[in-house]
Structure 1
Amino acid sequence: MTTDKRVKQAIRFREEEVGRLMWLTNSAESATIIGISGVGKSNLFHHLLDPATQQHYLGDKANNYIFVRVNFHYAPDFTSRTTYSLIIEQFELLDEHTARYNLPSDAITRISQYHDRLLAAGDDLLMVQRQFKLAVHEILRHSERKLIFLFDQFDHLYRSADPRLFANLRGLREAYKYRLCYFVFTRNSLLAMGELDRARDEFYELLAANVIGLKTYSPTDSLHMLLRVAKRNQLTLKKEYLPILLMLTGGHAGLLRATYLAMVKDQVSITTHYSRRENFERLLAHDNVEAECEKIWTGLTLEEQELLADLVANRPIKTNTLAFTHLQLKGILTADATPTLFAILFSLYIDKLRNIRERIIKIDPITRTISIAGKRTRLKAFQFHVFKLLYEHTGQIVSHDDIIRVGTPQISAENFALRMSNLIHLIEPNPQNPQYIEKVGSMGYRLQD
């Protein structure tokens, strides 16, 4: 629960987004915050957890609000037991702040006891749920106290967890209606992750009214970040660099940092020896700059990638699609009458990938969708993991053992053969004469593009 002094922000950092989140906090409304890779979610988390930020926006009642961040990136699995355990671990970290939140001195001791019982419950889901609810009740025992969950890397949990988990989280919200809310941070809209079951659908209803796009930094926030990067690396930030860097990166935190360090630390300078485009391409060729662009790109859905590829290639784009709406929400496309990409470097990166439309086989890890010769198919988890492995080794034979290892390690040979047959029947136009997934005798399988 402590804040990281190294990334302490100015009080008005991301003022628009933080102001809206604090307003929702005050009314105990839940929200989804969508942000692309490298956009600065970690700094936002630290800022929201900073007591000075809470005091600024929530005033004298700030200590009645308990913000709990849970990062599901570190979850070993997405069972209900693991999820609840990760949350209670964050409750236990409140032991240093009991005075601030007016928690009884023995409250954390009781929460730890509930945690121990939860872990000992094993597969007894009713007992697991009960211990978790008792821990939440311990936090909210005081009638003035409010609990705000900040769920990071929520995409994977939402896609993989048991529906009963979401039913229980929804039930908690109903039990503490104006005293508990969820802020879930994702890289993509939850709607883009496929069909919802009833429990997920009802949990999504809590978030649907408040969807916030975490866009790139403002010029002021960009300047503050660059000054910190310069100080940390014992460099100087020249005033004339800022407008150039903003033009190149659009204020994207990761891209901004990588480009600045490439220019100043690694001496990839902009000179008159090269044309404007050549200068920019030299920067894009820097490993860290290209890596930031790649992380943004691979975090997009296939539909979003294809739309951006069409835009960069000056082909017509459809503006009445969910993909277009999400790209604007994320700040990748501007909200102008004639939308443009947020950063020159990212536009150049996409231009290098202009053959995306021509690829026969494409995969979308976000939605577990594949596209073969224009036909889109949504796969189950096992099917997608197997297909992704074959795709990453296109043209090569992948052994049965390697496929089983990435798909389902505990599976019989008969069941494996059946699942592979089902996958082939699902994607092949003529399963009796496969064009794409080839069975190579007893050696394994090979994907042909």
Structure 2
Amino acid sequence: MMDNYNPNQSPRLLTTFRAADLEAVFGLIHAGQSVEIIGVGSVGKSNFVRHLIRQDVLDTFLHQRYQEKAKIVFVGLDANSLLEPLPSAFNPHQPSGWSGYELLASRLLRAVVEQGILDHLPPEHHAHPEELYAMYQRLWPDDKASVNIIAFRYIEDMLQRIFSAISNIRFVVIFDEFEKFIRELPPRFFQTLRSLRDQFKDRLMYIITARQIMPLLIQTRLYDEYEPFIELFARHYLLPYRPSDTEQTFRRLSIRRDLPPPPLEMREQLMAVTGGHAGLLRASFSAWAPLKVIHPQMSDEEMIRTLLQINEIQEECKTIWRSLSQDECQILFDMVRAQQRNQPIEVSPYRPMAQLLIQKGLLLQTEQMTFANIRPPLFAAFLYASIRPETPSISDVEMNKNPNVIL
């Protein structure tokens, strides 16, 4: 609880933040399993990954709870750091995987150096950081055509040298915002990642974060080329915050912005209307302070109506909508239209796209689902206001205009 608000407290999240998610993901890592973390836009995937790799969180969940004996080294990859792609040596009209290999080698070397994993080795040892750096430099020869072909071999050799020097180490490579990697890198790059995993087994794992499950990110005609990589992953859905996570979020926002948190009753109400969605919670804090447009005496309907007048709230709702596939949007569109026209609609929870929306926390599962099942309530109200009754189809929905909120 935050009744004793102290602006001098640290905004650092406690190790218990998203504890259930941490336990699930670390359980998979401990078992040597790669993990696909799926969540709608602004649900907090990147923030979760930053929390996941904290040493105190690792100690609490992986080493104490699961008794992991190996040293786990996380290697974070940001698609925005990919260098300009080089053309494939086999097809100059297609990009090669060189920029992916360069980024992986660079961040692998950085992780090894920053954590001092190999500092005890003599300079002449084949796995000494200076030797690994020399290998990294070989990714930059003058003959670009040849480096495209052999770049993977350098990555392979770097990992082999590290694993042969230290037996008690496991690497977890994190691809945050995986959609960008899919767009930038060819299928062959991901096939070679599968090859690395097959060689080094559970000493090498991958984590990806994405708004959509991998099969929906890949063109149908290319699925067979990605399938060996997809088969590596167990899937974990990152849902909105639980009440204890919401409390930590309000505490953190209060300290960072040097503003008092909303009273307990209002925090609970904001949790209810936002469903604990990270982006909506952050945006709703501004409605309390500094805007002061919400107050404890408001009903849920009044609060939703007020919040939807705030541009930041509208943008967060648009982010959720845009993170969905067209088939997912179609289900929500049909529910909204039926509600507007007072027509019956019953969506089966067993439809694949409906099941995906349930897994993402956007539909409450019941035997037959209607508009009342859309979650969170604030997002449902946004859709109702944004999808005009006269809109003929989903392709005509305009999310760029501010909705005329009528509840």
Band the TM-score falls in, shorter-chain normalisation: 0.7 to 0.9
Aligned-pair distance for 1:206? 0.9
Of the three residues 174, 179, 185, the one matched with 2:203 is 179
Shift of 1:203: 0.8
- Equivalent pair of 1:306/1:356 in contact (CA under 8 Å): no
- Which segment is superposed worse, 263-272 or 27-36? 263-272
Unaligned runs of 5+ in 1: 365-391, 393-449
Residues 37 and 208, structure 2, Cα contact 8 Å, conserved in 1: yes
In structure 2, give the amino acid aligned to 1:135: M
Q: Distance in 2 between matches of 1:83 and 1:184?
A: 14
In angstroms, what is the RMSD of aligned CA positions? 2.7
Which structure is richer in relative contact order (CA contacts within 8 A, separation 6 or more)? Answer: 2
Aligned-partner Cα distance in 1 for 2:120–2:241 = 37
1:117 aligns with 2:138: yes
Which letter does structure 2 place at the counterpart of 1:172? L
Q: Distance in 2 between matches of 1:21 and 1:276?
A: 34
Give the 3-state SS of the residue equivalent to 1:118 in structure 2: coil
- Residues 1:91 and 2:108 aligned together: yes
Which residue is 1:386 aligned to?
Answer: none
For residues 89-122 of structure 1, give each alpha carbon's deviation from its aligned partner in whole angstroms, at most 9, with x where no partner exists. Answer: 22232212115x7774753322222222113352
1:105-157 per-residue CA deviation (whole Å, 9 max, x = no partner) reads 75332222222211335232222111122222233232221111111111232
Counterparts of 1:297 and 1:26 in 2: how far apart (Å)?
34
| Cα 1:65–1:192 shift into 2, 3 Å | same
CA contact (8 A) 2:348 2:367 kept: no
**In 1, Cα distance between the equivalents of 2:334 and 2:351?**
14
In 2: Cα distance, 1:361 partner to 1:39 partner: 24
**What are the superposed Cα offsets for residues 164-197 of structure 1, whole Å, 9 maximum, x if unpaired?**
1111101001000121111111110111123134
The answer to whether the 8 A contact 1:302-1:363 is kept is no
1:323 aligns with 2:353: yes
1:19 and 1:57 in contact (8 A); partners too: yes
Q: Which moved more, 1:240-249 or 1:63-72?
A: 63-72
Q: Which residue pairs with 2:160 in the alignment? A: 137
Residues in 2 aligned to 1:205 and 1:145: alpha-carbon distance in whole angstroms? 24
Determine which of 258, 273, 290 is the counterpart of 2:283. 258
Q: Tell me how far apart the structure 1 counterparts of residues 300 and 350 of structure 2 sit (CA, whole Å).
A: 34
CA contact (8 A) 1:73 1:153 kept: no
Shift >4 Å, 4+ stretches: 60-63, 76-79, 336-339
Q: Secondary structure at the match of 2:140?
A: helix
Counterpart amino acid of residue 115 in structure 1: Y
SS of residue matched to 2:264: coil
User: Does 1:353 find its partner at 2:383?
Assistant: no
Cα pair 1:73 1:152 within 8 Å, conserved: no
Match 1:344 to one of 368, 377, 380:
377
Paired with 1:215 and 1:98, the residues of 2 have a C-alpha distance of 36
Q: Percent identity?
A: 24
**What is the deviation of 1:349?**
1.0
1:213 corresponds to: 237
| Aligned counterparts of 1:255 and 1:295: Cα–Cα separation in 2 | 10
In the alignment, which residue of structure 2 is the partner of 1:415?
A: none
**In the alignment, which residue of structure 2 is the partner of 1:423?**
none
Aligned partners of 1:28 and 1:181 also within 8 Å: yes
Give a deviation string over 1:202-256, Cα, whole Å, max 9, x none. Answer: 111111xx11100011100111011110111111112122111111111111110
User: 1:26 and 2:15 equivalent?
Assistant: no
User: Who is 1:387 aligned against?
Assistant: none
- Partners of 2:360 and 2:215 lie apart in 1 by 14
What SS does the corresponding residue of 1:33 show, helix, strand or coil?
strand
Where does 1:426-437 land on structure 2 (aligned, <5 Å)? none
Whether 1:9 and 2:13 are equivalent positions in the alignment is yes
**2:310 partner letter:** H
For 2:327 and 2:120, the matched residues in 1 are separated by: 49
Tell me the residue number matched to 1:158.
182
Contact 1:306 1:357 in 2 (8 A): no
* Distance across 2 between alignment mates of 1:160 and 1:31: 21
- Give the 3 Å change call, closer, same or farther, for CA 56–336 of structure 1 in structure 2: farther
- AA in 1 matched with 2:191: A
Residues 319 and 224 (structure 1), Cα distance of their counterparts in 2 relative to 1, 3 Å cut: same
TM-score normalised by L of structure 2? 0.80
The alpha-carbon deviation at position 351 of structure 1 amounts to 0.7
> How many pairs align?
357
For 1:262 and 1:103, how far apart are their aligned partners in 2?
Answer: 54
Partner SS state of residue 188, structure 1: coil
Classify the secondary structure of the residue corresponding to 1:176. helix
> Could you tell me whether the CA contact under 8 Å between 2:11 and 2:255 is conserved in 1?
no
CA distance in 2, matches of 1:357, 1:110: 67
Residue 269 (structure 1) aligned to one of 286, 294, 307: 294
1:134 aligned counterpart, secondary structure: helix
1:254-307: CA deviation from partner (whole Å, max 9, x where unpaired): 1101011122211221476x8753442221110111111111111111111121
Task: Tell me whether 37-46 or 154-163 shows the greater mean CA deviation.
Answer: 154-163
The structure 2 residue matched to 1:198, chosen from 214, 224, 229, is 224
Partner of 1:239: 264
